[in-house]
Amino acid sequence: MKLIEVTIYIVKMRMKNPFVTSFGAVQDKPVLVIQAKDESGVIGWGEGVAFEAPSYTEETAKTSLHMLEDFLIPMLLQRELTHPDEVSELFKPIRRNNMAKAAIEGAVWDIYAKLINRPLSEAIGGTRKKVEIGISVGLQPTDEELFQIIEDYIAQGYKRVKVKIKPGRDIELIQTIRSRFGNLPLMADANSAYTLADLPLLKALDEFNLLMIEQPLAHDDLVEHALLQKELSTPICLDESITSIEDMKRAVMLGSCQVVNLKVARVGGITETKRIHDYGVKHGISIWCGGMLEAGIGRAQAVAVASLSGFTLPGDTAASSRYWDEDIIDPEVKVENGLISISDKPGLGYTVKQSFIEQIAERKIVLA
């Protein structure tokens, strides 16, 4: 494999509904579409998923573009690669910037899978033919609106519900959901909205039999989460805090969590995702696939990754139609009875709609 040309399409996609978390709202989602061309003429696609603002992690769509254009893509152009695993090795001298790294690494994986004529899921060692899906519901203006959304997705067959919580919208919220929906498979995601000073409140959540509580404490913390996990019977799931295999090893060492929400973009690519997955399986950590409000390319990647055997809990990869009027892939990602079928076509397994992307892109940058 040798990349001879990479095009970055700078796109903004309007979400059907704003997605609100403890750190803010997303309505217009920046999407960096990466199109990489191999010397053999095979095309691979990747997606940069960073948001406009550095509130979930430190990255933004603009920092991703800067890293891709000025550092990461130049490192790969004209370089002979035998396997996509080499990309993360090459990127090691560049600190963090994981979403930018994952964007181009994903395109290399797509090319590789196409060259060996295998679906991406198989190329990475995935074995599932279908993956289980839950829904992550953002903060809503009223309980009634939240109930309506939960009802809708349960009716569609989604296998668990994740709600966002923040100080002032937590205990009562969970309590009302429980009394309305009985023992629905339910979890809560705080996106780092609490501190150890909130211990009594977090302990009070134990009463509601949540599947897990996701990222209650600081985005870069492992130590305080370990202290908290000792106090809670509810499993802690880490999202923001796990950015690499090194973080994963430390989390296991300290006992910071029992579950990990694994996102390709947050950890810098598919190769690192596999490493974290394998380590988690070996050390009894449950794993599931999270989401970044991805457009079709990132969504297709998430589906492929979730086919790895250690992804044992329903993921956040909802149907394309939940987010977009029109997605950038064909067919769109569909969820039937809470399940997505893994594509058996080579590479990502979905056709990327290049002319649609050309049409909606604000601009494009060609690097060669």
Ligand X SMILES: O=C(O)CCC(=O)c1ccccc1C(=O)O
* Residue 239 binds ligand X (CB under 6 A): yes
Query: Which one-letter amino acid corresponds to residue 314?
Result: P
Which residue in 189, 221, 272, 327 binds ligand X (CB under 6 A)? Answer: 189
Residue 104 or 238 having the CB closest to Mg ion: 238
Residue 364 among the catalytic residues? no
Structure-token pair, residue 118 = 């295998």
Parallel, antiparallel or unpaired: strands 236-238 and 259-262? parallel
Which single residue brings its beta carbon nearest to ligand X? 291
The answer to whether residues 34 and 104 touch, using CB atoms and an 8 Å cutoff, is yes
Distance CA 294, CA 304 (A): 14
Residue environment code for 273-308, b if the CB has 16+ CB neighbours within 10 A, otherwise e: bbbbbbbbbeeebbbbbbbbbbbbbbbbbbbbbbbb
- Stretch 159-198 residues interacting with Mg ion (CB under 5 A): 189
Which partner from the list Mg ion, ligand X, none does 56 bind, CB cut-off 5 to 8 Å by kind? Answer: ligand X
3-state secondary structure (DSSP) of residue 162: strand
Nearest Cα to 2, choosing from 44, 63, 31?
44
> Is 353 among the catalytic positions?
no
Binding mask of the shown chain, residues 112 to 151, with x at each position contacting ligand X by CB under 6 A:
------------------------x---------------
From 112-120, 237-245, 323-331, 354-362, span contacting Mg ion (CB under 5 A)? 237-245
Q: Which does 350 bind (CB under 5 to 8 A by kind): ligand X, Mg ion, none?
A: none
Contact stretch for Mg ion (CB under 5 A) within 52-60, 107-115, 207-215, 280-288: 207-215
Counting contacts by CB under 6 A, is residue 346 touching ligand X?
no
Between 258 and 297, how does the x/- string for binding to ligand X read (CB under 6 A)? --------------------------------xxxx----
Task: Please give the single-letter amino acid code of residue 340.
Answer: I
Q: How many residues bind ligand X (CB under 6 A)?
A: 12
Measured N-to-C along each axis, helices 270-282 and 98-115 cross at an angle, to the nearest 10 degrees, of 90
Q: Can you say which residues are annotated as belonging to the binding site for Mg(2+)? A: 189, 214, 239
Catalytic member of 164, 203, 282, 345: 164
Near ligand X in 293-322, by CB under 6 A: 293, 316, 318
Cis upstream peptide for 331 (omega within 30°): yes
Looking at the chain, list the stretches that DSSP marks H as alpha helix, in order from N- to C-terminal side. Answer: 61-67, 73-76, 85-90, 98-115, 120-123, 143-156, 171-181, 199-204, 223-231, 245-254, 270-282, 296-305, 320-323, 354-360
Among 239, 272, 294, 327, contact with Mg ion (rule: CB under 5 A):
239
* Residue stretches of the annotated binding site: 189, 214, 239
Positions that interact with Mg ion (CB under 5 A): 189, 214, 239
Chain contacts with ligand X (rule: CB under 6 A) = 19, 56, 136, 189, 191, 239, 290-293, 316, 318
Q: Which residues are catalytic?
A: 164, 263
